[in-house]
Amino acid sequence: MATRPTWQGHLRLSLVSCPVALYTATASGGEVRFNMLHEATHNRIKMVPTDPETGPVDRSEIVKGYEIEKGRYVVVTDEEIKNVRLATTRSLDIERFVDIEDIDRLYWNDPYFLAPDGEMAVEAFTVIREAMAQTGQVALGRLVMHQRERLMALEPRDRGILAFSLRTKREVKNAAEFFDNIPDVKASPQMVEIATKIIEQQEGPFDPSQFNDRYEDALRALIKEKEKGATITAPAEPKEAEVIDLMEQLRRSLGQTGGGERRKPAAKTATRRKAAAPPAKKPPAKRRA
């Protein structure tokens, strides 16, 4: 079955436009999900809406409310909500081009694939994509999806465009709330040097196939064993690590192989990026339509 698009409309760059379709780039179908069952009958449990004072209520009696303070709500009707919804313009208008380094990682949200919608759209779509590739910049635009206005960041990817929804300023917490209370401690140069060598031992290319959700794997193994009627016993508790000083931990870590042979980068840059900084932008290669 063909994947259904999440959104369909027009991609616009000034007066140039073309029909496009937006598809989710990730899938959550592989997650193990459990249903709530009655212990004796194994029938699925139905959740009944209940008022804490009057008991079960009919769904027709339920209204929407926004809590403005503890226990005090403003009730809003569906008609009132409908009146403030943004018009679904079916248009993704490119408003600005920025360097990818200018977008803090905190703002990147869900990834999507943007593709031309129909053969007639391919030429204009390709022109827009190739122009973006040559400038090496990220396009910012807005669209209305699921009754919400969303800011999107677009960048060329293969023959299509990779789109990310971006979080708003209101959604991103201030890092100072969490980092300002960390004591400003001067790290030992010798310890930092050893830690740097440990990092160099573990350098290598990113291969997502090597990273599985081990908890999901364990759940699936558990389900298979239970299906066969096996009795599951809890594994032995791991022993607590021996308490040693930091320098000794670093020295022991340096002596370990780090899980096998790792390929080192071909060349080192003169300066290393800070940990919180976004990755350096590589100029995209030219693509052929």
Only one residue has tokens 């004072």, namely: 53
Report the pLDDT value the prediction gives residue 210, as an integer from 0 to 100. Answer: 74
Label residues 4-24 b or e (16+ Cβ within 10 Å = b): ebebebbbbbeeebbbbbbee
Over residues 183-212, the pLDDT tens digits come to 999 999 999 999 999 888 888 888 877 777
pLDDT band at 89 (very low <50, low <70, confident <90, very high): low
Over residues 223-247, the pLDDT tens digits come to 887 777 777 776 666 666 665 688 8
How close are the terminal C-alpha atoms of the chain, in Å? 27
Amino acid at 44: R
CB 157 within 8 A of CB 106: no
Amino acid at 42: H
pTM score of the predicted model? 0.67
Lowest-confidence pick of 72-86, 92-106, 164-178, 250-264: 250-264
Domain ranges of the chain: 7-27+85-171
Q: Give the whole-number percent of the chain exceeding pLDDT 90.
A: 45
Over residues 113-159, the pLDDT tens digits come to 999 999 999 999 999 999 999 999 999 999 888 778 899 999 999 99
Q: Is the pLDDT of residue 43 over 50?
A: yes
* Angle value at C-alpha 1, between 9 and 6, nearest 5 degrees: 25
CATH of domain 7-27+85-171: 2.40.290.10
Coil/strand/helix, residue 34: coil
